[in-house]
Chain A
């Protein structure tokens, strides 16, 4: 009986006017020994049961790698040499972050919606309360963004999403070669007038496979064995090279 009521209640809820139907070129990225970055294709359609409203539809695709805490340090000139002075802990910063949109971010997304959903790159980084004697703590998170944009781990692709007939969208995002393992949260937002009208979430699994997986596991689970193996390889290689050269010299 209760279940029936629940179902009826759910059915009574107004259907979302527009919904995302998503496709991914891969919902799993395998990091093999020869992994050299990868291109991820995100595509989909907007399902709707009412006629298309007048305001244009915009699409935002955001992919975030696993978040890890960081320490950011700033150098200052003291006694003539450059030394690390202030340090700020960043509570959360995704190891990878890409935002692709159909147009300029300012037009596509309202400030308040950005705050709510944490979509743009600066909003994705969480600073921990910096100690009061650190001047200008904001500059530390800006530095994280600057450094990571430079090595392509943070990407802002304004106009990177193509939207056809307000229904079909697609974008491709380059995953760099220095990818870390983990679940990559993929979010798609549909906006009108800067307001989010619908959102969809899924995850892409980025995993080391094969030899990479085995070595990584061994190094964490059997560190002693792993260390000894490293040494054995080193000694064997050293001996092998010496023997080979000796042989070459004789022969």
Chain B
């Protein structure tokens, strides 16, 4: 069934969109990532204009993350306090990121920078997670107890706060810094930042994996909600019809994903996420290295 999208001005298959939404929704529920870094390239691929794809994607992530958070809230695996601290940092970072983005845009080549950012960050994060989870799996097999609670410099900082759900008593400075950094990157790269936030929470803040997913989704709702409003009011590129089709698939997928996620071991979850991140990274790197079949591209005037 073909549907004509009023803002994107293209006609696409409705079932294809439902399917894509569902697939990305499952990943979102399982790993606590918004799925923007997967969905946006897929939307480009089926012919949605990039500007519309990025803006609408943000709207769809609001829906799937909200659906996911509700499922996690019921399981009490959302650290609201930690989420709020991260969110405050995130919004500050997003504002900074927009400034950085506009500066780079004035220099040109912002496209390239975004892609390089993706490749570098996805590569580092994916690689680190992959190695770490492999080691963790090997350790549990050989019967060694995992040592999670390390006492390092992070615990020496002032402004300590108790995060009961995460079982942490740490300073608010590291989560704030993580929030700001992720916010900056999210604004530059045009994504919710879940795939950076999740590893940062696990490895830098030492939060338990089960809590990480829900908490990440919690703060993604606000970041992407903010982005949606920004795009809708400045660029007029949010396509409600496209968003509805994607999010119907997405919210159902998120519910399914959350259930799959709770049945799996934390290490398995992390290694799967690592593999997915590495796969996307490899795809983007290949795009930069292999000669494209069409050297020319058409864009709107003034767009990037």
Contact = CB atoms under 8 A, between A and B. Distances in A.
B62 A238 contact: yes
A116 interface: no
Nearest to B248: A237
Nearest to A85: B109
Interface stretch (A43-51, A97-105, A213-221): A213-221
A241 B6 contact: no
Contacts of B252: 241
Contacts of B9: 178-181
Nearest to A210: B6
Nearest to A225: B232
Interface residues of A, number: 64
Given A33-B3, A74-B295, A177 B10 contact: yes
Contacts of B276: none
Q: Which of A31, A80, A233, A245 has the most CB of B within 10 A?
A: A245
Interface residues of B, number: 61
Given A227-B232, A237-B251, A70 B66 contact: no
B291 A77 contact: yes
Interface in B1-58: 1-4, 6-7, 9-11, 47
A140 interface: yes
B299 A230 contact: no
Contacts of B291: 77, 82
A188 B7 CA distance: 32
Given A33-B3, A33-B4, A234-B60, A71 B303 contact: yes
Contacts of A208: 6
A177 B2 contact: yes
Contacts of A147: 294, 296, 298
A237 B112 contact: no
B4 A226 contact: no
Interface string A231-248: 101110111111101100
A215 B239 CA distance: 9
A238 B70 contact: yes
Given A219-B238, A223-B236, A75 B295 contact: yes
A83 B110 CA distance: 11
Contacts of B295: 74-76, 143
Interface stretch (A1-9, A34-42, A166-174, A194-202): A34-42
B20 to A, nearest CB: 16
Contact of B66 (A37, A177, A215, A234): A234
Given A70-B299, A72-B299, A223-B234, 14 more contacts: A33-B3, A37-B11, A82-B289, A83-B288, A143-B294, A147-B296, A219-B7, A226-B232, A226-B238, A230-B59, A230-B240, A231-B62, A238-B69, A242-B255
